[in-house]
Structure 1
Amino acid sequence: MSTTVTAADTYITENVIDTEGWAESDAAKRQRLLNAAERTLIRYYSKYTIPDDAVYEFAAALATVYSDVMIAGQRGVQATSLSGVTSTTFREGQRELVNLIPQACRDIVGDANGVTLPARKVGRLVL
């Protein structure tokens, strides 16, 4: 793989619908997003070849999730109220990066490897 910020800029501008989070990120943050996306995909889909385009798709999704507006939600904030008194509500649990992989990214990895990678489903196991 040879992911670069320049190549990601081109791919995201031409192929991703929501580019605001990526566009608002500086070069250092874009590189961190690419690193996190690539590392997560390689770890989670270790049996498969990961195309650069899949990394770019995931990096764009991460840029949106970790944008200045959305970062509070990633840190557990559910609601904030400013009506003379500040009130903040937090949710429980932590979201793992692997849970943020968009289906478009799974499709790219699947197509490159001749397999179908459906969304990860969470359910109960009955023994």
Structure 2
Amino acid sequence: MALSITDADAYITLNVLSIEDWTDSDEQRKQRMINVASRTLSTKFSKYVIPDNAVYEFAAYLSRMFNDTNVQAQNGVQGFALSGVASFNFKRDIPTEFSDMIPRHVLDMINEANPDLPNVGGRRVGWTVL
């Protein structure tokens, strides 16, 4: 299945909790987010099948990470205030590489799509003996 904004909109609307930054985006920004998410996942996990839904999840996450407020933190701003309106402070250790921003649930989706390949990005849930 080919990646599309229409499919991304449908998936994100039904499956992602925080969608405001995605839905507020214009078509060009949405396409850029899909392109960056797809390229990042395909580059990092070149031997794996990347499900479209994993790309859509990551695109929605990127749209939130690069919204009007958070982009200030991405550019190194530690805090700012609008007199009488609002004050914003950002944590200092914000990832700057796209591959460092991939959420755990996206890695889980890639793992599920590739059961015959080694685990991506961490451990799987399993039984343990104490």
2:2 matched to which residue of 1? 2
Cα distance 1:79–1:57, how it changes in 2: closer, same or farther (>3 A)? same
Contact kept? 1:54, 1:109, Cα under 8 Å: yes
2:52 matched to which residue of 1? 52
Alpha-carbon RMSD across the aligned residues, in angstroms, is 2.3
SS at match of 2:43: helix
Cα distance 1:34–1:93, how it changes in 2: closer, same or farther (>3 A)? closer
* Count of matched residue positions in the alignment of Structure 1 and Structure 2: 115
Contact kept? 1:76, 1:92, Cα under 8 Å: no
The letter of the residue matching 1:111 is E
Give structure 1 stretches of 5+ with no counterpart.
84-88, 120-127
1:23 matched to which residue of 2? 23
2:126 matched to which residue of 1? none
1:117 matched to which residue of 2? 120
Cα distance 1:79–1:105, how it changes in 2: closer, same or farther (>3 A)? same
1:69, distance to aligned residue in structure 2 (A):
1.8
SS at match of 1:77: coil
1:41 matched to which residue of 2? 41
Contact kept? 2:95, 2:101, Cα under 8 Å: no
Moved over 2 A (4+): 89-94, 115-119
Identity of aligned residues (%): 43
2:106 matched to which residue of 1? 105
Q: TM-score, normalised by structure 1?
A: 0.81
CA–CA separation in structure 2 for the residues paired with 1:81 and 1:63: 23
Q: TM-score, normalised by structure 2?
A: 0.79
Give structure 2 stretches of 5+ with no counterpart.
84-88, 123-130
Cα offsets for 1:23-69 (capped at 9, x unmatched):
11000000000000000000000110101001001000000001112
